[in-house]
Structure 1
Amino acid sequence: MKDFPIRFVLTDEAITPSAGLALVGYLLHQTKLDKRVNALRLPTVRRDVHISHSDVIRSMIGLLATGKTDFDHIEAYRQDDIFSTSMGIRHVPSSPTLRQRLDQLACLPMTETIIWEESMRLLVRQHATLSACWTKGKTTWLPLDIDASPFDNSDTKKEGVSRTYKGFDGFTPLFAYAGKEGYIVHAELRPGKQHVQDNMPSFLTTAIRRARPLTSSRLLVRMDAGNDAEANVHVCLKEDVDFVIKRNLRRESKALWFQIASQKGRRVDDGQTEGVQTYEL
């Protein structure tokens, strides 16, 4: 991995947008990503192929790090020495190679496993700061937020694009974020019409198990009303994590819930919301 000296100077020279990728390349160098993905075998790709799997994946990471999402955007970087040097890429692939190889690697379940495992190990190795959301006595709670985030893909014909609950056509991917910094520990691309609770117990279990090694604090799972389901509560209890799930009132009365809280709960004052009665059950 090449070292880049950093200096603060005034200059009239052109500034490359790829300079910040030196840090991205450095972080990738701290992982075993190259060795693990290059060991993967694809029946349609020769072992002595000119463009390695790691070159392909590093190129895509470089594009995403610069805010580019289209495969064709790689063409602008094929002769960019700063891009390839910063990202540790020997041979920047063409757009067709990038697209085809990623499609092929995506068919191997181990590819996703490797990427997630190396991502989590990098956070641990770099001692990433994950801030707690609540402290009581000697106990701290690290938030694990899980929610869907509809993407607007109107006027496209991509596979999986359908009507989202936001009223536009697109995807509804699911994300799990750890800490107040929001490190992604799990994600899943989903069709726009898929309900957020579909396959949620499995997703939730994976997110919890990935987040747990990142902190010594207790995990606090936080979910919206779309995930107000008994199955999620069972997962949280089984995995021994605390949780806050917004109640889906459906046809229930707010007045009834207030009556239950006032009769069975203990009134508390959080000192933050003036004029609001808060009860702890």
Structure 2
Amino acid sequence: MRPFIVKQLDYDLTPVAGLALVGHHLKRLAPVFRHIDTALRVVGGVANSDILRSYVGLLVQGKSDFDAIENFRGDAFFKQALGIKLLPSSPTLRQRMDARAGDLFDFMPPLIETLLAGARPDYGVLPCGWVALDVDTFAMDNGGTAKDGVGRTYAGVDGYCPLAAYLGSHGFCLELALRPGVQHSASETQFNFERVIPMAQRLSAAGPKAPILARLDSGFDSAALMRVIESYNHAGQPQVDWLIKWNPRTTHVVALAERLDADAATLWEHPRAGKRVTVWEESLSIEGIERPLRRVLRLTERTIDAKGQLLIEPKLTLDGWSTSLEARQFDAKAVIALYADHGTHEQFHSEFKTDLDLERLPSGKFDTNYLVCELAALAMNILRLMGQAGLHGPNAPVRHAAKRRRIKTVMQELIYRAGRLIEHGRRVILGLGANDRAASAFERLHWQLAGTGG
């Protein structure tokens, strides 16, 4: 083996050539960025739009630390790829986000909606014809810190409990709203719905033209929230249905099991020895909602556990799901299966925390971390669009077949590409290596985005 000789070359190289593709998506957001700079004018300094572009450029690489921007000071490619006029220093990036976070909140939903409306991606419509709107909270462990809003979460760790809303089964995020760790799931959720549900309706009307199915867990089991969701059903807008896990609260499960066992009309299924299940429906009446509603219930009795161990007393499990879906289209088992599919969104939470490095948020200020989360939703959507367009097809990098690529995979295959920056004849060329297996997919995606005005 001949030893390597390491030396610094006299021409520019970049390890993140994929930022050129990110820049195409940011061009779609130019009208919103101009609005930001007009509303929040800066004299003689870094524009607020450049602050946002710079931080998105870090997030799509899986970097959330403000100090990471120092690695790109003097990097012509980073600025040109993302359309940045003046690159901020680390202190400027941190201080501006601290100072302007509250003012920038209102611009985050338009950035996300403009991106998705312009791209019109495949959101992933359910087989039943509805497009899912999965809303949930999850825990971010920020223990051992004195950050604003850190508290004991439902998961038993000190941190935050942001609320995320994903449109479609492919995980496009409409909102990642930071919340204090102690905040209950249903608290103030109606304010999130004010932004998320109309946005989902507009995007669905422009794209799949499908009704929307809001799916939420038992933490959102509230008649008030059901009325809020129902209030968005207006003529000319996609219909919004909902499927919410029921919270049994004070239900006496043993007494209910005895009543069902004594009823000859109860139908029991026996999926294995020592386990029986019955499913039934009840009508549901909620003041302020006129259309028929129902609750699907399932009681499971186990006398032998999954390992074959006999139980001294039967173990009873009661589950329920409240829904506005019509019984003639969705029987009880279909409703249960639709809610089981809701669990897919847990993968999207994981991508925020690991792939985008947001488990521990970078600032001590709550508003700044809130802005970081909203920008992370924008960055996730950009990476989703890149993966959907660039990692499928005959010339895509070799990977196992999949309908959706994980964010980390998109970074590995499209962001982390070595490139040489060449200026020749008033042109700027981004050269990829002769042995780069992703070069053809990269080039195809570049011209596709350039041709659509991205």
The TM-score with structure 1 as length reference comes to: 0.81
C-alpha contact 1:134 1:142 (8 A) present in aligned 2: no
Higher relative contact order (CA 8 A, sep 6+): 2
Change (3 A) 1:86 1:14: closer
Q: Percent identity?
A: 36
Partner amino acid, structure 2, of 1:200: T
Q: Deviations over 1:44-65 (max 9, x none)?
A: x53xx23112111100111111
Give the aligned partner of residue 53 of structure 1.
48
The separation in 2 between residues aligned to 1:239 and 1:59, in whole angstroms, is 36
1:90 and 2:85 matched = yes
* Long gaps (5+) in structure 2: 1-10, 234-239, 270-275, 283-454
**1:145 matches 2:134:** yes
Per the alignment, residue 245 of structure 1 pairs with 244
* Equivalent residues of 1:197, 1:227 under 8 A apart: yes
The question of 1:206 aligning with 2:195 is answered yes
Q: Secondary structure at the match of 1:39?
A: helix
Q: CA offset at residue 251 of structure 1?
A: 2.2
For 1:176 and 1:221, the matched residues in 2 are separated by 9
Q: Any idea what the Cα deviations from partners look like across 1:170-219, whole Å, max 9, x if unmatched?
A: 11111111100111112211111111111012222321111111111111
The answer to whether 1:19 aligns with 2:8 is no
Query: Is the 1:204–1:232 contact (alpha carbons within 8 Å) kept by the matching residues of 2?
Result: no
Mapped partners of 2:278, 2:194: distance in 1: 34
Taking a change above 3 Å as real, the CA distance of residues 90 and 14 of structure 1, as seen in their structure-2 partners, is closer
Structure 2 residue aligned with 1:4: none
Greater Cα radius of gyration, structure 1 or 2: 2
- Flag the 1:162–1:141 CA change in 2: closer, same or farther, 3 A: same
**1:189-268 matched pairs, under 5 angstroms:** 189-215=178-204, 216-240=209-233, 241-254=240-253
2:211/2:241 contact within 8 Å kept: yes
CA shift, 1:280, in A, is: 4.9
TM-score, length of structure 2 as denominator length: 0.51
Asked whether the equivalents of residues 140 and 161 of structure 2 are also in contact (C-alpha less than 8 Å), the reply is yes
Q: Which runs of 5+ in 1 are unaligned?
A: 1-12, 270-274
Within 5 A, what are the aligned runs for 1:64-143? 64-108=59-103, 111-135=104-128, 140-143=129-132
Structure 1 Cα separation of the partners of residues 256 and 68 of structure 2: 54
Question: Relative to structure 1, is the Cα distance of residues 124 and 255 closer, same or farther in structure 2, using a 3 angstrom cutoff?
Answer: farther
